[in-house]
Amino acid sequence: MTRGSTDTAFAPAKVNLTLHVTGRRRDGYHLLDSLVAFADVVDVLTVERGDALTVCGPFADGVPTDDRNLIRRALRLAGTPRAVMLEKNLPHPAGLGGGSSDAAAVLRLVGACPDPAALLSLGADVPVCMTPRAQRMRGIGEILSPVPMPPLHAVLINPGVALPTGRVFAGLATTDNRPMDALPDAGPTLDWLARQRNDLEPPARQIAPVIGDVLSALREAGADIARMSGSGATCFGLWPSRALADKAAHELTLSGWWVRACTLI
């Protein structure tokens, strides 16, 4: 990279199509079994020489630009300081892994590939975000395996409420739940997905009942499956085509919530 040159990368939204909480370690970390996909709805990062972080975009408010930001921590881990412009298009916190995806994107931009333990030190979602395609994520986020999956057409909705992840996990009735069913050889089908869960959805709905309203709106708009992503509050619905997802998103935009049609890969 020459002085004054820039480089750009996309940080896609991470969507937990399933999220089964299967145990808890003695150190307090929860064990997960989750099918993760990534949407064509993205934050945009541009890097150049320097050592400053600036943030713009519709969700710039509230994004720290000091060492609390995972981008700065990721660059320090890689030993490659850069000036970064972050266009924040994804709501936060939202259950979409936005900060982790941003950190992974900047590591890819600077050509850094820290070991898994170092990535986990940034956050449990950072390892899966390093390779933004469909994966099964187990353990505390370090056991990853690619999953064949056709494109899925979805609508994402965030109702604008922030859910503290720790509080959601603390509301679990049990941390010893069954893992996902065996994945079909050709990849997940809608029937298979419908039989899986997000174990964090019930405690999240207790904290933020509006999540139930979002899920009902998605179902009423014709979603084949409606479920919360991650620890919330973003929810997704699946449709059989992008055209139908686009139509549903247009109708659901009238709710006043953040609504985006997307394709998951």
Tens of each residue's pLDDT in the chain, 265 residues: 334 457 999 999 999 999 999 999 999 999 999 999 999 999 999 999 898 999 999 999 999 999 999 999 999 999 999 999 999 999 998 999 999 999 999 999 999 988 888 999 999 999 999 999 999 999 999 999 999 999 999 999 999 999 999 999 999 999 999 999 999 999 999 999 999 999 999 999 999 999 999 999 999 999 999 999 999 999 999 999 999 999 999 999 998 999 999 999 8
- From 104, 105, 142, select the one nearest 124 (Cα to Cα): 142
Point out the domain boundary residue: 131, 146, 161. 146
Which tokens go with 93? 């916190």
Picking from 40, 95, 35, 103, the residue whose alpha carbon sits closest to that of residue 71 is: 103
Q: pLDDT tens across 190-222, in order?
A: 999 999 999 999 999 999 999 999 999 999 999
57 is in an annotated binding site: no
Q: Is 132 annotated as a binding residue?
A: no
Q: Does residue 142 share a domain with residue 34?
A: yes
End residue of a domain, out of 90, 111, 146: 146
Looking up tokens 């985006």 gives 260
Q: Which residue has the tokens 């936005």?
A: 98
Maximum CA pair distance of the chain?
55
Residue 62, domain CATH: 3.30.230.10
CATH code of the domain covering residue 196 = 3.30.70.890
Contacts of residue 105, Cβ cutoff 8 Å, sequence gap at least 6: 9, 10, 11, 43, 45, 129
**Catalytic residue of the set 43, 102, 125, 199:** 125
Which pLDDT score, from 0 to 100, does residue 126 have?
97
What's the confidence (pLDDT) of residue 4? 45
The answer on 194 and 72 residing in a single domain is no
125 annotated active-site: yes
* Pairing between β-strand 152-158 and β-strand 235-239 as defined by DSSP bridges: antiparallel
The verdict on 142 and 188 lying in the same domain is: no
Report strand pairing: 20-24 vs 7-16: unpaired
Distance (Å, rounded) from C-alpha 202 to C-alpha 208?
A: 10
Any binding-site annotation on 97? yes
The residue range of the domain holding 31 is 7-146
Nearest CA to 259 among 156, 154, 153?
A: 156
Reference 246, options 228, 226, 221; nearest CA is: 221
Q: What is the pLDDT of residue 5?
A: 59
Is position 111 annotated in a ligand binding site?
no
Residue of 14, 88, 102, 199 marked active site = 14
27 is catalytic: no
Give me the count of residues in the chain.
265
